[in-house]
Amino acid sequence: MATHVKRAYKYRFYPTDAQAAQLSRTFGCVRKVYNLALAARTEAWVFRSERVNYNATSAMLTAWKKTDELAYLNDVSSVPLQQCLRHLQAAFASFFARRANYPRFKSKKTSRRSAEYTTSGFRFRDGRLKLAKMAEPLDIVWSRPLPEGAEPSTVTVSQDAAGRWFVSLLVEGSSVKPLPPTKAAVGIDVGLTSLLTLSTGEKVTNPRHERADRARLALAQRRLARKEKGSSNQAKARRAVAKVHARIADRRQDHLHKLTTRLVRENQTLVIEDLAVRNMLKNRALARAISDASWSAFRSMLEYKAAWYGRDVVVVDRFFPSSKLCSTCGAVRSNMPLSLREWTCTCDAVHDRDVNGAKNLLAAGLAVTACGAGVRLNRRTPDGRSAEKQETRRATAGPCL
């Protein structure tokens, strides 16, 4: 049975000079309105203990457009301006619910350049997209077709630091057919030498995209450092650096998409470990390599694709000793330094550290699937005694949200 989900389809497009100028003005106006509304809401709360909602900021926007100083806001579509006020309202809602920090002001140099249009701000007919305040439709490169009969509910136009233009079309009610069920299950252990090690023994090589382009990136950064601040040459050099970063990010994302799609298609149950990546990045010796591996992005892709196609992702607690536990006899080693990549158990079983960890993750995940979260694995210490009394940590796990 097909499920209906919201899916965004992102495409690159090439604007004319007039369209690029109009969109750049729109980005600037969106940033200006957002900052004005944030300042007004902050001032109202600090000085008058008054909460300002979306309706109040929308009325402020109408008043701002009538002033001589902000009359240029009338030159762009009002839809992206209203949408940025809704985004600010959502940011404050997350702040008051303690899900996020206090909203920050948008910066011309560092903030994302984007504008969001709802159905009243664009027209989509016969594969041609035309935005409000523009005479011609956008020249979009349709790298993949939209679902048949799809009608976008929201269109987001953006420009990245490398100067590339993108349009994202949000399609509501997009039909996704679950994959045929299978009995296959796999444990997945992430790493740096091998990006992934599967319980089947397969190891996926870490492509190390950042390392491959490190020399090119360093050269572009040195050229940028020599340019005069504020000059046009500095702007060109900054775009050159951004292009190298974009190349790295695009290759990394492409590799992760292909990898996660294959895993979801081949397996019904996928077991991964709950890693505290943010804490691991505090290790200066490994932070660069961990960032390049992009474990968090891998997990995110795996989770939403599994939800789309009717697969199960089980997340094992980070304190579960998957590397120290013998997958053959259940013995637990007292210590396991990172330099030890292969070890021999007291039962004479020789283990590859990563393959053994993936097998133990799979066993824990299957135990949770069968018996529920909070399952204790039957382990023993090398001296033959039960590990339950000595090992207080549980092999807890639960289905991902």
Q: Which of 116, 210, 317, 354 is catalytic?
A: 354
> Taking the C-alpha atoms of 49, 50, 51 and 53 in order, what is their torsion angle to the nearest 10 degrees?
-160
Q: Shortest CA distance to 365 belongs to which of 265, 250, 242, 267?
A: 267
pLDDT digits (tens, 9 = 90+) for 300-337: 999 999 998 999 999 998 888 888 888 888 888 878 77
Residues with Cβ within 8 Å of residue 347, at least 6 apart in sequence: 326, 328, 329, 331
HSE, side-chain direction, 13 A CA sphere, residue 391: 24
Beta bridge partners of 176: 3
Q: Cα–Cα distances in Å, from 133 out to 65, 122, 144?
A: 17, 9, 27
- Give the DSSP per-residue string, 161-220: TTS-EEEEEEEEEEEEPPPPP---EEEEEE-SSEEEEETTS-EEE---HHHHTHHHHHHH
Rounded distance, CA 233 to CA 279, Å? Answer: 38
Q: Which of 116, 210, 273, 391 is catalytic?
A: 273
Q: Read off the amino acid at residue 91.
A: A
Retrieve residue 2's tokens.
């097909």
Rounded distance, CA 337 to CA 298, Å? Answer: 25
184: alpha, beta or left? (left if phi > 0; alpha if psi -120 to 50): beta
- Give the DSSP per-residue string, 326-362: -TTT-BB-S---TT--EEE-TTS-EEEHHHHHHHHHH
Retrieve residue 233's tokens.
């040459």
Q: Shortest CA distance to 351 belongs to which of 361, 336, 341, 360?
A: 341
SS3 27: helix
Active site residue 303: no
Q: Which of 189, 210, 317, 391 is catalytic?
A: 189
8 Å CB contact between 325 and 379 = yes
pLDDT digits (tens, 9 = 90+) for 176-223: 788 999 999 999 999 998 999 999 999 999 999 999 999 999 999 999
Active site residue 254: no
Active site residue 273: yes
Q: Read off the amino acid at residue 90.
A: A
8 Å CB contact between 64 and 84 = no
Give φ, ψ of 180 to 5 degrees. -60, 135
* Residue listed under structure tokens 């701000």: 121
Q: What are the start-end ranges of the E strands in 74-192?
A: 113-118, 122-125, 128-131, 140-141, 152-159, 165-176, 185-190
pLDDT reported for residue 383: 46
Q: Shortest CA distance to 116 belongs to which of 152, 153, 69, 155?
A: 155
Domain 179-208+249-401 sits in CATH at: 3.30.420
Q: pLDDT under 50 in the chain at which residues?
A: 374-401
Rg of the chain on CA atoms, in Å = 26
Domain with CATH 3.30.420 in the chain: 179-208+249-401
Angle at 133 between CA 128 and CA 135, to 5 degrees: 50
Rounded distance, CA 210 to CA 220, Å? Answer: 14
